[in-house]
Chain A
Amino acid sequence: MKFLSKLIISCLAIAVVLTGAVFLKVSAQDQPITSQQIDLIRGNCVSTKNTLNQLHASDALLRVNRGQIYESIETKLMNGFNGRLSNNNFNNSNMTSITNNYESTLNNFRSHYIVYEEQLASAISIDCSKQPAAFYEAISSARTKRSQVHADVVKLNQYIDQYQAAVDQFEKDYQTAANGMKQ
C-alpha cells in the first residue's frame, strides 16, 4: 500500500515537472497576441490572406525549381564524379562523405517543406475575421517551419561549397602527382 502511494506521488511529481517544462518552452517560443493585433488581423484580413496565398504559390514554385536543381547536382554530378574517382582507384572518401551529408539534408529539405506547406495551408484555411488568435498562432508556427526549410537550404549550399573545395583540393593533389610523374 505504501509502495503504491509512493508510486502515485512520484508519478504526479514527474507529471507536474513535465507540464511545467512544456509550458515554459511554449511561453519562450510564442509571443502572446495583443488586443491591438487582434484588431489589425480583423482589419487587414483580406490583404493578409492575399499575401499568404501569393507566398504559398511562390514558395511552391521555389520548392519545385530548387528541388530539381539540388537533386540534379547530386544525382547527375556528384555521384558521377565520385563514381569516376572510385572506378579509377582514387580516394574519394571525403567527397562521398560530403555527398552523403548533402543527400540527408536534401531529404530533410523535402520533409521540412511538406510540414511547412501543410502548416501554411492550414493557416490560410482559418477565417481570420472570426478566429484572429488561431490565425496568428498558425502563422507563427508556419514562420518557424519556413525557417527550418531555409536552414536546410543554407546547409545544402554549405555542402556544395565543401564539395567544390574538395574537388579543388583533389585537382591540386592530382596536378602535384602528375608533375611528379613527369619529373
Chain B
Amino acid sequence: MEELKIVSAISNSEFVNKHRLLVFVVMSIVISMILVAVSMAMYNSSGAAQLDLSRPGYKSVRSQAITSDGSVQTYSAVGTISQSSITEFKSLLVKQVDKVKTVDAFGGDPLSPDSLGIGTGTTAL
C-alpha cells in the first residue's frame, strides 16, 4: 500500500515536470477566472454596476449624466460665523435644493399594469 502511494506521488511529480508549461498555463487561467469572478461579484454587490452608464442599454442617456459636481461649491468648515457667512451658506444650499426639487424623482407609477399597457383596461396591439 505504502509502495503504491509512493509510486503514484512520483508519477504525479514526473507528470508536472514533463508538462510544466501546460500546468503553468492551466493554473494561470484558473487563477484569473477566480479573480474575475471575485471582481464581478464585488462590481455587482457594491452598487458600482448600477452607476455604470457605460454598460450596454444606457447609450441613449449617457450624455445627460453629470460628469463632475465641480459646480457645487464646498462650504468650508473653517471660518467665522457672521450674517454674511450664513447668507452665503443659505444661497449655496438653495441652489442645490432647487435642482433636487424640480422633478419628483422615482415618482409616478410607470410600472403599473395600466401604464405598461397590460392592465385590464387596455387592449392588445
Q: Is B a genuine binding partner of A?
A: yes
A residues sitting closer than 8 Å to B (CB atoms) are: 34, 36-37, 39-44, 47-48, 51-73, 76-77, 79-88, 90, 110-111, 113-114, 117, 136, 139, 142-143, 146, 149-150, 153, 156-157, 160, 163-164, 167, 170-171, 174-175, 178
Interface pairs (8), CB distance under 8 Å: A36-B120, A54-B60, A64-B65, A69-B99, A80-B75, A87-B77, A113-B47, A143-B111
State in angstroms the CA–CA spacing of A60 and B93 once bound together. Answer: 25
B42 within 8 A of partner (CB)? no
Chain A contact residues: helix, strand, loop or mixed: helix
**Total interface residues in chain B, CB < 8 Å:** 54
Min CB distance, A92 to chain B, in Å? 10
In the complex, the number of residue pairs spanning A and B with C-beta atoms less than 8 Å apart equals: 173
Tell whether, in the assembled complex, residue A40 and residue B58 are in contact, meaning their CB atoms are under 8 Å apart. Answer: no
B residues sitting closer than 8 Å to A (CB atoms) are: 47, 50-51, 53, 57-58, 60-61, 64-66, 69, 72-81, 83, 85-86, 89-90, 92-93, 96-97, 99-101, 103-107, 109-113, 115-120, 122-125
- Collect the chain A residues with CB atoms within 8 Å of residue B51's CB: 60, 63-64, 67
State in angstroms the CA–CA spacing of A143 and B76 once bound together. Answer: 41
